[in-house]
Amino acid sequence: MAGTLLSLVVAVAAFGWVLAPLFGEPKEISQARSTDQIQEAVNRSVRELKTDLELQKIQASDLEEIQSFLESESKR
């Protein structure tokens, strides 16, 4: 019996907590992109490719081309 009553309390608390945000003011979900993360990903890729340039696994012109492609993609 105690377990059932406790379950009831837990159910009320859980649903109350889950439904609580609905009683707030309407707000649109931010559509902003994470510029930090995107830039970090581009930088990381370029940094790794620069190591490959030192190891002669990529030509300088190809690296520049890839870098500008990644920069343009990151803005799309």
Partner 1 sequence: MNALGNYSLYIAFGLSVWGIASAYLSYRNRDERYLRSALHAIYGICGLVLLAIILLWAALLRNDFTLKYVWEYSRTTQPAIYKITALWGGMDGSLLFWCGLLAIFSALAITFNRKNNMRHLPFTSMVLLMTLGFFLFLLSFKTNPFAPLRDSAGILVSTYTPQMMRAVQGNGLNPLLQNFYMAIHPPMLYTGLVGFAIPFAFILGALAHRERNTFWMRSARNWAVFAWMTLGVGILLGGYWAYIELGWGGYWAWDPVENASFLPWVMGTAFLHTFLMQEKRGIYRFWNVFFIVMAFLLSIYGTYLTRSGILQSVHAFGQEDPSIPWYFQLGNIFLLFMAIMAILSFGLILRRRALLKSGQELESAGSRESMFLYGSLLLGLIGFVVLFGLTSPIFYRIVTHHELDRGPEYYNPRILPIALMVLLVMGIASVSPWKKGGWASYRKQLAIPFLAGLSALAASLFAFFRGGQASLTDFHSRPLTYIYLFACVSFSFFVAAIILEEYFRTARQAHRMGRAGKLSCLLSPFRENPRRYGGYIVHLGIVCVFLGVAFSATFQREYQETMKPGDAVRFGPYVVRMADLQHDDLNADLQKVNDVRIWADLQVFRGNKLVALLRPMRVFYSANPQQPTYEVAIHSTLLRDFYTLLAGFDLNTNSATIGAFVNPMVAWLWLGGVLLLVGGLIALIPMRNW
| Closest approach of partner 1 to the CB of residue 64, in Å | 11
Residues at the interface with partner 1 (CB under 8 A): 3-4, 6-7, 10-11, 14-15, 17-22, 24, 26-34, 36-38, 40-42, 45, 47-49, 51-52, 54-59, 62-63, 65-66, 69-70, 73-74, 76
25-63: buried (b, 16+ CB within 10 Å) or exposed (e) per residue?
A: eeeeeeeeeeeeeeeeebeeeeeebeeeeeeeebeeeee
| Closest approach of partner 1 to the CB of residue 62, in Å | 4
